[in-house]
Amino acid sequence: MALPEHLQRHLEAGRSLAAAGGYRGRFAPSPTGLLHLGNLQTALLSWLAARQAGGAWLLRIDDLDTPRNRAGAIEAIQSDLRWLGLTWDGPVLLQSERRGIYHSWLSWLRRSGLLFACRCSRRELADQPIYPGFCRKAAHNWGWQRQRLPSWRLRVADDDPHGSGDVVLRRADGFIAYQLATVIDELSFGINDVVRGADLREALPAQRSFFAALGEAPPRFRHGPLLCDASGQKLSKREASAGLKPLRDAGLDAAAVIGRLASGLQLVAPEARLSATELLEHLTQPAINAVIS
């Protein structure tokens, strides 16, 4: 089935941005609370990669999972980034303002026969690293059954080289899935290089499978290290959850925090003090790329 004209326009706009040349990256936090130090380390690394390449760096807020959003978090994210000197290009992109686009994609995918209704519970799939296809051949009842809706899965080819299994694009609670919104946004905004935390490496197969199903090339996905302590051990979620406030309350300024984050990435010596711009001038692209895999 042919892609509707308005969705085709979104793709063409993204292709034009990407074809214009140059690096187009983004940072995409969820407003579930304050940015923790791991988020800030990833933001710094993503910003450095974009700016060293002379490219654009967009700020996207992944706020579709509304029950988990926290009041004031979007404003706090922007304030923290500005305080650190990590400025972005263009307006802030809110996924919540793009729900109509995501639902249009879902509607087209469903009419094209690329989706199927899945009623498997999390318990049924708990020991399955890849979705085993239980509902692939079931009757496509998209409505309520036993007081619950189905999730909507992308029918991924059996010979898919990415090994993702069938990807959830709409959750059983009715929310747009992370994988769909992320892929559509990368295409719509011409994102060609993504630097994110290593914890999102597990999302890569599903996203690559969805790009392939759409016949579109994915960005280059790269992953920065997780936040570690001085001995190289990954911080616990509780240790990493403290954001900028404790550091600022202790009297640290932006230069001290940038130095601490960059030292954690082994880009500068411990106790270094420098602004984000000074750090950028200090580094070469190979030095930044050496931290990303």
- Cα three-residue angle 209-210-214, rounded to 5 degrees: 115
The DSSP result for 36-65, as a single string, is -HHHHHHHHHHHHHHHHTT-EEEEEE----
Residue 128's pLDDT is 87
Region 166-179: what's the mean pLDDT? 96
What would the mean pLDDT of 86-99 be, rounded to a whole number?
Answer: 98
Residue 82 has pLDDT above 90, yes or no: yes
Q: What is the pLDDT of residue 143?
A: 85
| Cβ atoms 49, 10 nearer than 8 A | no
pLDDT at site 79: 97
How many CB atoms neighbour CB 276 within 10 A?
Answer: 22
Looking at beta carbons, which pairs linking 126-132 to residues 24 or more positions away fall under 8 Å?
A: 130/163, 130/164, 130/165, 131/165, 131/166, 132/165
State the pLDDT at residue 55: 96
DSSP 17-32: HHHT-S-EEEE----S
Amino acid at the residue 43:
A
Q: pTM of the full predicted structure?
A: 0.93
pLDDT tens across 14-32, in order?
999 998 889 999 999 999 9
Q: For residue range 179-207, what is the model confidence (pLDDT) as tens digits?
A: 999 999 999 999 999 999 999 999 999 99
User: Does residue 155 carry a pLDDT above 90?
Assistant: yes
Residue 146 pLDDT greater than 90, yes or no: no
Q: How high does pLDDT run on average in the chain? A: 92
| Pairwise CA distance, residues 102 & 180, whole Å | 7
Phi, psi of 195 (to 5 degrees): -115, 120
* Distance (Å, whole) CA 150 – CA 117: 6
Task: Output the pLDDT for position 239.
Answer: 53
Predicted confidence at residue 127, as pLDDT, reads 86
Contact 40, 76 (CB under 8 A): no
CA distance 258 to 74: 21
Predicted pLDDT at 77 = 97
As a whole number of angstroms, the distance between CA 59 and CA 43 comes to 10
Work out the number of other CB atoms within 10 angstroms of the CB of residue 279.
Answer: 23
- Spatial separation of the C-alpha atoms in residues 46 and 57, rounded to whole Å: 8
Among 6-15, 75-84, 137-146, 255-264, which is the least confidently predicted range?
137-146
- Whether residue 73 is predicted with pLDDT greater than 60 in this model: the reply is yes
pLDDT at 42: 96
Task: Identify the DSSP state of 228.
Answer: B
Tens digit of pLDDT for each residue in 216-259?
Answer: 999 999 999 988 655 555 654 555 567 899 999 999 999 999 99
Confidence band for 286, pLDDT divided at 50, 70 and 90: very high
Round to whole Å and give the CA distance between 248 and 11: 43
Three-state SS for 147?
coil
